[in-house]
Amino acid sequence: MSDAAAIVVCGAAGRMGRLLIGLGREQPDLRIAGAVEVCGHPCLGEDAGAVAAGSPLGVAIADDLARILRPDHVVVDFTGVPDAAIRHAAVAVERSAALVVGTTGFDARQREELCALAPRTRSVVAANFSVGVAVLTELVTLAARLLDRRFEAEIVELHHHSKRDAPSGTALALGRAVAAARGLDFDGDARLAREGMVGARPPEEIGIVALRAGDAVGDHTVVFGGLGERLELVHRAQSRDCLARGALRAARWIVDRAPGLYSMRDVLGL
Ligand code: NAD
């Protein structure tokens, strides 16, 4: 196993970026090697440690990943801008650096692009880095298999009012897990909104509803509604720490892997 993993945080002044830097600097097996923000951001040139609400780290926030990235670095992207995450992935591939992507909100084309780039280096891509959601996904897969399609699957997610994408990447991933377990086509069977005279619900439909309110970190409920009974599996993130700690764990883990696209399931050895 190598020494401390050197991470470069993209989206360094964001909610997750600050947390990754604040928590990452405390871990002996990690080192904050770089911090990147978008061109024109007011924090450019400032010390990443100070911006993350701590003491200075000696790492200035830069606006060009390609200028600072080295092959022994791990790019950790939480920019929240899919095209930026794809650009950062391309730079990681070009430099043979490892990659951890937490950004969500990719459309089909962007997802395809990321999935083509990521396996060309050592990569972990996850819509949710919490251990609880990884286990929830396993439980949802099991429940979707054990309960027949008459137990209709619906997913409800709740996030803070600043979240840019809807439904959440986690809700979509949970929907994909249901579809995979039941041999359904997620893109064809997912129902992302209902309004008006929608008619009866086909049993194979996978409904996803997004709520936005206040400062909620992220709740996900998967409902399997049968006749006379209902199974609900719920995860609530009480703080972003679990997400940041999971991403840092993934960054440490990916350093010693062979090139390929890995999931949080792989990181946790589930
Ligand atoms: P945020 O808006 O607080 O932070 C994003 C930061 O990225 C901002 O500071 C912004 O200026 C910066 N940024 C934008 N474009 C950039 C670019 N081209 N280069 C460098 N920096 C750039 O958002 P957030 O709440 O921290 O969430 C970020 C993303 O992470 C979202 O997509 C969110 O859904 C996702 N997220 C994922 C997980 C997970 O576990 N996978 C957990 C939480 C959030």
Which pairs from 140-146 meet CB under 8 Å and 24+ separation?
A: 140/174, 140/177, 140/178, 140/181, 140/222, 140/233, 141/177, 141/178, 141/180, 141/181, 142/181, 143/222, 143/224, 143/231, 143/233, 144/177, 144/178, 144/181, 144/182, 144/224, 145/181, 145/182
Active-site residue, from 159, 160, 220, 235: 159
Q: Give the pLDDT score at 2.
A: 53
Ligand 1 centroid from CA 13, angstroms? 9
Atom of ligand 1 nearest to the CA of 128: 40
Phi, psi of 153 (to 5 degrees): -95, 130
Tell me the pLDDT tens digit for each residue of 119-178: 999 999 999 999 999 999 999 999 999 999 999 999 999 999 999 999 999 999 999 999
Ligand 1 centroid from CA 16, angstroms? 6
Three-point CA angle 37, 159, 189, nearest 5°: 105
Ligand 1 centroid from CA 143, angstroms? 32
Atom of ligand 1 nearest to the CA of 130: 40
Distances (CA, A) of 11 to 17, 115, 148, 153, 163: 5, 21, 42, 34, 15
Distances (CA, A) of 88 to 91, 116, 132, 176: 5, 13, 28, 26
* 3-state secondary structure string across 145-208: HHCCCCCEEEEEEEECCCCCCCCCHHHHHHHHHHHHHHCCCHHHHEECCCCCCCCCCCCCCEEE
Q: With a 6 A CB cut-off, is 128 part of the ligand 1 pocket? A: yes
Q: With a 6 A CB cut-off, is 139 part of the ligand 1 pocket? A: no
Pairing between β-strand 260-262 and β-strand 190-191 as defined by DSSP bridges: unpaired
Tell me the pLDDT tens digit for each residue of 218-237: 999 999 999 999 999 999 99
Query: pTM of the prediction?
Result: 0.94
- The answer to whether the peptide bond before residue 202 is cis (omega within 30 degrees of 0) is no
Low-confidence residues of the chain: pLDDT under 50: 1
Q: With a 6 A CB cut-off, is 30 part of the ligand 1 pocket? A: no
Residue carrying structure tokens 């964001």: 14
Q: Is 163 a catalytic residue?
A: yes
Phi, psi of 168 (to 5 degrees): -65, 155
Phi, psi of 40 (to 5 degrees): 90, -5
Q: Is 220 a catalytic residue?
A: no
